[in-house]
Amino acid sequence: MDVGAADFARCLPCLRDRIGRAAFLGLDMEFTGLHSAFPESNQPSLFDSPAERYQKVRRSVQRFTITQLGLAIFLEENSNKYVVHSYNFFLFPSTLGVMDAELTLSASSIQFLSHYGFDYNKFLKDGIPYMNELQEKILSQRLLEGSWKVCSALNMNVVKKAIDEVTCWIAAAKEGDTMILQDLSDSQMLDVQLVLRQALPNIWTQPLGDNELMVKKVTPQHRRLLESSSHDSCRKELILTSARGFTNLFQIIVKAKKPLVGHNMLMDLCHLHDKFYNPLPESYEEFKKNIHHLFPVLIDTKTVTKSVWKNYQFPRVSNLLEVYEVLCSSDLNPMDPSCPVIALASDSVRYAEKKAPHEAAYDAFVCGSVLLKSAHLLLCGLTDDAVKANSSFSQYLTMLAEYLNKVNFIRGGVSSIVRMNCRIFLGKMIPAGTPLPWLSVFEVGHGWMKGRSTRSYSLFVALILEGFQRTNSFCSPIDLSMSFVFCMITKITLSCRSLSTAAGGTLRM
């Protein structure tokens, strides 16, 4: 289902209800670009550390924007049936007041989306506005100061015309007289009202519907009385709600705390933070804390399916849709009564009839479906038929415990970053009842590093334990058994608590 600015407010109550009842949410996004080519050093490298990769992604996220966000709401009807409502939200940065975002377009990304039928008219003409908390604070301050300015060039001409018409009319108008301004869009309606009220203390404005605005001549005393009314369409809270746009839905998702499922979702998480929460912080650690606060349960299907590849006769595939097709058509998930039944709701049924790759709502639906089918496959390998026949999403979550909050790290030099509580450190036991006042970060950076000799390789392992404020680095030539790694790591007992990143396989403790 496509949702633009014209329909968004009407759809929001239904979305709130469905998200509240959801088992989990599938997420996908399309962007105006992926990786900024400037500077050249910003290109992802095989040997990026997590912090280095984050800085590169951060620079790209600051330049590019979201064109389309797909949200698939998976409702669990019974033990193994899910009904899916999948939405395409077309987004466009707010141009309300003083805000005017600068957008960068990647030619290859635009060409790619165009090839798959992306509707740029919906993006440009009916994109839902949004803002983060910093932008909302600036806008709120402008409203309090009464220093409203029109940023949109399109609205500026409309506002100028409205001012000319009202100025000519009011000179001869009597108190109580009215005039009508016509053909105003929602954003133009707001800009015209705020500018007129700011410039003329003896007029009042009231939207009439059908893109019409009534202007009435009043006394300043009557004007102050009207401004205190709960029916004023220009009340600050109403303006901010309108300006927040899609951010209102983001806040509903955050409040619901439902498991959020994506595929290679690091870039998605960075955009969610930057566009709807706050500008991305410079600190990678602060970013991880913020994301864990916003979304306590993250599942990256790339991380899950990599494990499936290793444990089952699963063909190597290159993208999400191919994974979905293999899981749907192969003998891995035979169509028996215990398999999860995934049914598209009537508002999303077109995805059952025709594939729509790289359409955000379709990819979000596919992503959630891959999760269910992969989880069921893992469940089948470890439980009896009675458990499989009555499987629920809570059981699937239990099966997926080792993959929670592990976000795939594409082509990076680090295997895993795990935020944890440490109860054992280098053989020293901390009593079980002892409070754990710190969260420590354990990083394993690994990759075969070419040495001076073409046959000489080393494995680099870095233990960063923030609670102890020290770094231990080990660099040693070893054989492929990785025995050196395990002899160092098995001295630590971990329990995962937050966001992790994985590349090329996750090293489990």
pLDDT greater than 50 at residue 17: yes
Looking at residue 384, its pLDDT comes to: 60
pLDDT greater than 90 at residue 342: yes
- Indicate the range of 16-20, 277-281, 319-323 predicted with least confidence: 319-323
pLDDT greater than 50 at residue 142: yes
Mean pLDDT confidence for 293-308: 92
pLDDT tens by residue, 180-205: 999 998 888 989 999 999 999 999 99
What are the domain boundaries of the chain? 2-131+246-309+337-399, 147-241, 413-502
Looking at residue 143, its pLDDT comes to: 86
Question: Which pLDDT band, with edges at 50, 70 and 90, does 412 fall under?
Answer: low
Token pair, residue 422, equals 């440490």
Token pair, residue 461, equals 């392992």
Most confident option among 97-101, 189-193, 437-441? 189-193
Mean pLDDT confidence for 229-246: 90
**CA neighbor of 175 nearest in space, from 218, 223, 205, 214:** 218
CA dihedral sign of residues 11, 14, 18, 21: positive
Q: Which residues contact 383 (CB under 8 A, 6 or more apart)?
A: none
Q: Which residues, listed in sequence order, are joined to residue 71 by a DSSP beta bridge?
A: 27, 87
Residue type at 188?
A: Q
Q: Which residue shows structure tokens 């990083």?
A: 443
β pairing state of 406-408 and 500-502: parallel
Token pair, residue 108, equals 């290859």
Bond preceding residue 39 cis, omega within 30 of 0: yes
User: What CATH class does 2-131+246-309+337-399 carry?
Assistant: alpha beta
Looking at residue 172, its pLDDT comes to: 93
Q: What SS3 string covers 241-267?
A: HHHHECHHHHHHHHHHCCCEEECCCHH
Report the C-alpha gap between 311 and 382 in whole angstroms: 12
Q: Which residues contact 385 (CB under 8 A, 6 or more apart)?
A: 338
Looking at residue 330, its pLDDT comes to: 62
pLDDT greater than 80 at residue 165: yes
**CA neighbor of 406 nearest in space, from 299, 319, 310, 503:** 299
Mean pLDDT confidence for 50-69: 94
Mean pLDDT confidence for 7-23: 97
Q: Which residue shows structure tokens 């399916």?
A: 305
- Indicate the range of 152-156, 229-233, 303-307, 358-362 predicted with least confidence: 152-156
Mean pLDDT confidence for 468-491: 32
Token pair, residue 294, equals 């916003």
Token pair, residue 36, equals 């900024």
Average pLDDT over the chain, rounded to whole?
A: 80
pTM, full prediction: 0.79
- Topology classification of domain 147-241: Ribosomal Protein S8; Chain: A, domain 1 (3.30.1370)
Token pair, residue 334, equals 């035979």
**CA neighbor of 226 nearest in space, from 212, 234, 175, 239:** 234
Mean pLDDT confidence for 258-283: 97
